[in-house]
Structure 1
Amino acid sequence: MDYRDEVFLQVAELLSISKAAERLFISQPAVTKHIQELENKLDIPLFERKGNRIYLTRAGKITAIHLKSIKQQYQELEFELNQMNNTYKGKLRMGASSTITQYVVPPVIAAFHTRYPDIKLSLLNGNSEDMTRKLLNNEIDVALVENQDTHQNIHYIDFLDDEIVAVTNPKSLYARRRKVFNEELLKTPLVLRENGSGTLEVIKKAFATNNLPFDEMNVILQLGSTEAIKNFLSDFEGISFISEKAVKKEIHRKELVKLKTPTLSITRQFRIALRQGPEMKLSRLFIDYLINYNF
């Protein structure tokens, strides 16, 4: 790949000349010049302008797909050549759901970096639905997700067990009782994660299995992060369902109380998601490290 190809891929991803220029540390006229040179070389327009925005043409979309594939092959080439010298170099783009990003994967990434300091890692954060979309769009190489849905173009590998538990603040009525039964849950005030969250998807499926229609439950609020929910719980006369890994410290410090749910169990697997097809060797290196990590 030459530099024009890289400039094109940045503009194609951001759909902005100015943002691409900032990311590449070059001027906007330089970005425009590189795009025009590539269009002249291919003899076809790659972008079209509508008002103040730019969009990929059909040719631009095809070019982006192929150049992303070529870029990945170059990275594979560099990685394999470095391995011949017993060195590990390259770039790995990862994405992870919010719970995994905050409470699971940071020590793994730190240890992986110590073992392979010349491998550059980047980590995007969002809900599981966001990460699946970015994986399919080739914006990341590996996704770590917490949902149970499957996609025909994605291969999944389980890497860690998780349990979703009911929690409340120590001053609430529910904390004094220490347990909550299924028949009470329809009326119990709940604060839960937002739509698109893998945690919410798993909770909905568990509720449905236990004849608890989600639409009939007393969901007071849905929030975009587990940290926001934990803060909200401090003055909330109700409960939430959260990954046990996310509330371990708060339960130990008695800032939150874990409730028993004798008739409801919510378990899941955190999963590695990869696009179907040839697997990048650098991705496999990280996956093997993650699977064998001593959590």
Structure 2
Amino acid sequence: MLSLHHEVFMEVARLRSFTKAGQVLFLSQSAISKHIKSLEYRYKIGLFERHGNSISLTQAGHILYDKLLEAAQLRAELHDELQHINENFLPPTKLAIGSSTTISLYVLPSVLSAYLREKPHIQLSVLNRNSDNIQTALLEHDIDVGIVEGITRVNTLTYTPFTTDDVLAVCSGNSPLRGRILPLTALLEIPLALRENGSGTLAVVEDELFKRGIKQSDLKVLIRLGGTEALKNFVLADTCLAFMPRRAIVKELAAGDLVEVKIEDLFIQRAFHFIQRKGTENNSLVNEFIRFTRHYYSKMD
């Protein structure tokens, strides 16, 4: 239904990069350029504008991209209907997943391995960003389904519960804070290492503290770090306090490299949700992946 030229165009348009599209499609940059030039010759109009090292879609490019998105959706629906009447019909299928950092690093690897053993005809790609960026990627059709932490909801997306995780106050095993039980007001004086704005972990910590009369601006923030691993490694090297998801630090807690610091009247738990664009809730490939993942983790939690 879609030619290779059109498939290449869609990747370039989605990623706004010839180089990145080539990496995704395993094609050289010169091959990518030839496919785009062939389309531009066919339609007798430019599809991209070049701006030094960046590109953007022309008006014609935007029109073509929107129509190809519709065609891709029709193809997916066609495959769904054919599979309902012929279970042996298994076309190569792509599924693009986006997930927040904790999910990508500590939750998805095992379930994706199990999923691919059962569905070898499906080609998976995973985008790892903070929760805000995953919502944006879904809205911009860069991914088919997202998994995010508790953040502000968007009314054009649907949210399906997945699992939960505790967020713990922790310090290094060498910190003078280890072994202490702190009053909530101590958070106003203790140096803190926090995640970057847009992080789901940060959002749920802020929300719980705000319920108890503490704003982020009241905190003594020593540093902000982008990503769970960066935050973990900083805390291991420092004596500060940080809030981290339990799933991300299981090994460090067991080894004593990180230690939970109890804070009176503070229990933080965050929820993970699958997110889909409204109007695509009947996408059988996405729904099958959601069912598989929820079932897989229901046996583990």
Q: TM-score, normalised by structure 2?
A: 0.89
> Separation in 1 of the partners of 2:28 and 2:171?
53
The farther-off stretch of 244-253 and 183-192 is: 244-253
- Within a 5 Å distance, the mapping from 1:214-293 to structure 2 comes to 214-279=216-281, 280-293=283-296
Is the contact made by 1:189 and 1:219 (CA closer than 8 Å) also made in structure 2?
Answer: yes
With 255-264 and 137-146 compared, the bigger mean Cα shift is at: 255-264
**In structure 1, C-alpha distance between the alignment counterparts of 2:113 and 2:245, rounded to whole Å:** 22
1:120 aligns with 2:90: no
Equivalent residue runs for 1:37-116 within 5 Å = 37-42=38-43, 44-51=45-52, 53-82=54-83, 84-87=85-88, 88-89=90-91, 90-116=93-119
TM-score of the pair, normalised by structure 1: 0.90
Which of 189, 199, 212 is residue 210 of structure 1 equivalent to? Answer: 212
Residue by residue over 1:272-295, the C-alpha shift from the partner in whole angstroms, topping out at 9 and shown as x without a partner, is 011110331100101111122222
Gaps of at least 5 residues in structure 1 are none
The 1:200–1:49 alpha-carbon spacing in structure 2 relative to 1, beyond 3 Å, is same
Q: How many residues align?
A: 294
Looking at structure 1, the residues matched to 175 and 168 of structure 2 have their Cα atoms a distance apart, in angstroms, of 16
Distance, in Å, in 1 between the alignment partners of 2:53 and 2:261 is 53
- Deviates further, 6-15 or 201-210: 6-15
Taking structure 1 as reference, are residues 139 and 236 closer, same or farther at Cα in structure 2, changes over 3 Å only? same
Runs of 5+ consecutive residues of structure 2 not aligned to the other structure: none
CA contact (8 A) 1:75 1:91 kept: no
**How far apart are residue 242 of structure 1 and its match?**
0.7
Q: 1:140 Cα shift?
A: 0.7
Paired with 2:272 and 2:39, the residues of 1 have a C-alpha distance of 42
**Distance in structure 2 (CA, Å) of the matches to 1:27 and 1:235:** 42
1:192-211 correspondence runs (5 A): 192-211=194-213
| Separation of aligned partners in 2, 1:115 and 1:21 | 28
Distance 1:29 1:149, change over 3 A: same
Aligned-residue sequence identity (percent) comes to 38
User: Do 1:99 and 1:226's aligned partners in 2 also have CA atoms closer than 8 Å?
Assistant: yes
Shift of 1:152: 1.2
Note the aligned Cα RMSD (angstroms): 2.2
Cα offsets for 1:159-189 (capped at 9, x unmatched):
1011111111122221132x22211101111
Are the aligned partners of 2:99 and 2:131 in contact in 1 as well (CA < 8 Å)? yes
C-alpha separation between the residues in 2 aligned to 1:52 and 1:103? 35
Which deviations, in whole Å up to 9, do the C-alpha atoms of 1:126-147 show, x marking residues without a partner? 1111111111111110101013
